[in-house]
């Protein structure tokens, strides 16, 4: 319709005018297939990519729905060539399917013979397939089910995997919903995953991804292997499963650096799986240790390469990936798509906030000036030292201390990347520091004291980016980060998004050095959250200190 919020361009970029009255519904309509690239204040830029279109196709959207969304919200006529391209790209999905054949086991079938002829000429496909059964069917080595999906995706012909799953070893698991119920979106996520067979559920931090995992386990009624980022997270998963389901302490094992328990439900850390000994990964055998019916990958966007590799062999098992953002800074989103499965459910953060399940957040970028001597030192620093230099400037320490004072009495997390900076802040603030070498016992003790309100300020390194359940945190102050990592920014905001008992708004401060690479990285880090509808206010440190 003329005057819509969306400008659709022939280079596959979409420009969305944020201040338009239809902007929110337009964003909802395009988010299943378009990927956000830039999100400044007034115009957001999306891109239509083959992976985005195939994800939409796997989730049940067809080309007609995509075209309708573009035409309905477009301000100007949509370029015809783009519409044709969308229909053709989406039409590529499913022309090849992986199926179970009664006599030949795993086969690749086509509805379009020339496509099969084309891909069989690829040197990368040839080692993965066996005999030609008929003109439209070729046998596939069962162990190559994941590998062939990866290769086909790269060749531009994504295969729909219809070959089904082994049930695995049965194990009774039921949700104990006497004192709580799955929220509507959690139920939809479980149904979307189960109906699709395998895939990824994308939910905001604090929206209860663990319960979606529990819901999937109750559907599977089978032994389950859960992979998590660290031991603290493993123990939180165990605590939640014992509390919310029929599982007992004895049925849930921990497989980590300190314990090696294999039970009907086993929770393992990525670190232990990727630990190498004499050039091999001894613990990857855990995947074969039981006839698992379900494998859950927590924080799937962090999946390490060796586990990716092993996941290629697990295609006969149901796989559930859980994450707050599918963004991977290494660009391996297509591997998540082919090896774990397509996106089965995605809920925008603001939608969950509107329903009252996560807290509203005020995001503030606080810009500090380097002193003249710091500016000179920064200008002459080697390029690989520049970020560390501006990220740890002394000016940030003063501002951080002022922010902690301003929010005295509120549960505050100070988060950063560089240990010496955090140690110094901890000392000045009189606050405990949690970092890589803090023992698990000590971490749990400090997190527990924070939850109980005995401590109201914690300084944490990137160990607290993931799966740390701190429901009472209301203020997060980020002093440095992993360069321009968008998913880290999302995880850090997520630390303060759990709904507050008093309905309090969450505050997320990012302290940034002006006129440096720190400012560039901050802009990149904020992209994902801007897409989710969080606007960053930029304020000058001097003004803020004046307010304080």
Burial status of residue 377 (CB atoms within 10 A of its CB: 0-12, 13-18, 19 or more):
middle
Mean pLDDT of 3-27: 92
Residue 469 pLDDT = 61
Query: In 34-136, at which residue ranges do the beta strands (DSSP E only) sit?
Result: 34-38, 43-48, 96-101, 105-110, 129-134
The per-residue pLDDT for 491 is 74
166 lies in some domain:
no
| Residue 167 within any structural domain of the chain | no
At 101 the pLDDT is 92
Please, what sign has the CA dihedral across residues 288, 293, 299, 302? Answer: positive
Per DSSP, the three-state class of 156 is coil
C-beta of residue 336 within 8 angstroms of C-beta of residue 301: yes
CATH of the domain at 203: 3.40.50.300
Q: Are residues 543 and 415 in the same domain?
A: yes
Same domain, 327 and 263: yes
pLDDT tens-digit readout, 220-257: 999 999 999 888 889 989 999 999 999 999 999 999 98
Report if residue 456 sits inside a domain: yes
**Same-domain status, 468 and 532:** yes
Q: Which two tokens stand for residue 261?
A: 């328990």
Question: Is 119 within a domain?
Answer: yes
Residue 331 pLDDT greater than 60, yes or no: yes
Is residue 173 assigned to a domain?
no
Higher confidence at residue 438 or residue 161? 161
Q: Is it the case that residue 103 has pLDDT exceeding 80?
A: yes
Please check whether residue 101 lies inside any domain of the structure.
Answer: yes
Neighbouring C-beta atoms of residue 113, cutoff 10 Å: 11
Q: Report the C-alpha gap between 243 and 22 in whole angstroms.
A: 43
Q: Of 92, 121, 139, which marks where a domain is finished?
A: 92
Residue 456 clears pLDDT 70, i.e. is over it: yes
Regarding whether 463 and 414 lie in a shared domain, the answer is: yes
Tokens of 361: 């957040």
**Do 257 and 397 lie in a common domain?**
no
Please check the confidence at residue 211 and state whether its pLDDT lies above 90.
Answer: yes
Same domain? For 107 and 21 the reply is: no
Model pTM score: 0.80
pLDDT of residue 133: 95
- Give the tokens for residue 128: 């993965």
- 3-class DSSP state of 31: coil
pLDDT score of 104: 92
Residue 527 covered by a domain: yes
The tokens for 276 are 């190498």
Query: DSSP letters along 191-210, please?
Result: HHHHHHSSEEEE--TTS-HH
Per-residue pLDDT of 24-67, as tens digits, reads 899 889 988 987 776 666 888 888 999 889 988 988 889 999 99
Q: How far apart are CA 193 and CA 515, in angstroms?
A: 45
Residues with Cβ within 8 Å of 490's Cβ and at least 6 positions away in sequence, in order, are 205, 324, 325, 327, 528, 529, 532
Per-residue pLDDT band at 362 (split at 50, 70, 90): confident
Mean pLDDT computed over 399-407:
90
- Does the structure show a pLDDT above 90 at 334? no
Tokens 């519904």 correspond to: 25
Beta strands across the sheet bearing 137-140: 129-134, 137-140, 105-110, 96-101, 160-161
Of 353, 382, 414, the position where a domain reaches its end is 353
pLDDT above 90 as % of the chain = 41
Number of domains within the chain: 4
Shared domain check, 397 and 267: no
pLDDT value for 548: 47
Torsion of the alpha carbons at 531, 534, 537 and 538, rounded to the nearest 10: -40
Among the residue ranges 192-196, 247-251, 294-298, the one predicted with the least confidence is 192-196
Does any domain span residue 276?
yes
pLDDT digits (tens, 9 = 90+) for 493-508: 777 777 666 667 888 8
Q: Does residue 313 sit in the same domain as residue 368?
A: no
468 contacts 447 by C-beta, under 8 angstroms: yes
Task: Looking at the structure, tell me whether residues 219 and 119 fall in a common domain.
Answer: no
pLDDT value of residue 534: 75
**Residue 380 sits in the same domain as residue 453:** yes
Q: Show the domain range for 49.
A: 6-92
At 243-295, the pLDDT tens digits run 999 999 999 999 998 899 999 999 999 989 988 888 888 888 888 888 999 99
Could you say which of 129, 161, 193 is where a domain stops?
Answer: 161
Q: Is 463 exposed, middle or buried (0-12, 13-18, 19+ CB in 10 A)?
A: middle
Same structural domain, 368 and 478 = yes
Are both 225 and 331 inside the same structural domain?
A: yes
State the pLDDT confidence band at 71, using cuts at 50, 70 and 90: very high
């Amino acid at each position: 319709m003329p005057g819509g919020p969306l400008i659709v361009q022939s280079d596959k970029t979409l420009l969305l005018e944020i201040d338009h009255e239809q902007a929110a519904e337009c964003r909802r309509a395009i988010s299943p297939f378009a990927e956000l690239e830039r999100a400044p204040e007034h115009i957001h830029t999306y891109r239509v990519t083959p992976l985005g279109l195939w994800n939409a196709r796997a989730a049940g959207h067809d080309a007609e729905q995509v075209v309708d969304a573009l035409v309905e919200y477009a301000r100007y006529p949509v370029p015809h060539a783009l519409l044709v391209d969308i229909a053709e790209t989406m039409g590529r999905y499913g022309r090849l399917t992986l199926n179970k054949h009664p006599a030949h086991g795993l086969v690749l079938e086509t509805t379009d013979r020339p496509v099969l002829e084309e891909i069989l000429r690829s040197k990368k496909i040839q080692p993965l397939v066996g005999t030609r059964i008929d003109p439209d069917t070729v046998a596939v080595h069962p162990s190559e089910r994941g590998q062939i999906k990866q290769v086909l995706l790269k060749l531009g012909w994504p295969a729909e995997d219809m070959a089904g799953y082994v049930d695995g070893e049965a194990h009774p698991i039921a949700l104990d919903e006497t004192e709580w119920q799955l929220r509507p979106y959690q139920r939809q996520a479980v149904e979307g995953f189960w109906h699709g067979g395998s895939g990824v559920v994308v939910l905001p931090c604090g929206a209860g991804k663990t319960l979606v995992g529990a819901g999937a386990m109750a559907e599977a009624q089978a032994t389950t292997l859960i992979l998590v980022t660290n031991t603290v997270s493993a123990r939180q998963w165990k605590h939640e499963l014992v509390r919310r389901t029929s599982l007992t302490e004895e049925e849930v094992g921990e497989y980590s650096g300190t314990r090696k328990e294999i039970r009907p439900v086993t929770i393992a850390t990525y670190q232990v799986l990727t630990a190498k000994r004499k050039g091999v990964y001894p613990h990857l055998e855990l995947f074969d240790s039981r006839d698992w019916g379900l494998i859950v990958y927590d924080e799937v966007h962090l999946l390490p390469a060796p586990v990716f590799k092993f996941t290629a062999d697990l295609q006969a098992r149901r796989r559930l990936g859980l994450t707050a953002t599918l963004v991977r800074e290494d660009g391996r989103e297509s591997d998540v798509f082919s090896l774990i499965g397509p996106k089965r459910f995605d809920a925008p953060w603001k939608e969950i906030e509107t329903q009252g399940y996560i807290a509203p957040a005020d995001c503030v970028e606080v810009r500090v000036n380097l002193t003249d001597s710091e500016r000179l030192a920064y200008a002459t620093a080697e390029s690989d030292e520049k970020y560390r230099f501006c990220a740890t400037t002394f000016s940030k320490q003063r501002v951080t201390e002022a922010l902690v004072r301003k929010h005295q009495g509120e549960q505050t997390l100070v988060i950063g990347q560089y240990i010496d900076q955090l140690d110094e802040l901890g000392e000045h603030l009189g606050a405990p520091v949690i970092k890589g070498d803090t023992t698990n016992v000590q971490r749990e003790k400090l997190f527990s004291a924070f939850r109980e309100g005995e401590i109201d300020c914690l300084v944490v390194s990137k160990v607290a980016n993931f799966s740390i359940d701190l429901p009472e945190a209301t203020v997060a102050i980020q002093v440095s980060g992993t360069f321009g990592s968008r998913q880290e920014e999302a995880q850090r905001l997520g630390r303060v998004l759990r709904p507050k008992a008093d309905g309090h708004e969450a505050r997320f401060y990012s302290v940034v050095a002006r006129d440096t690479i720190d400012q560039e990285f901050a802009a990149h880090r904020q992209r994902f959250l801007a897409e989710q509808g969080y606007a960053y206010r930029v304020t000058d440190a001097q003004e803020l200190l004046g307010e304080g």
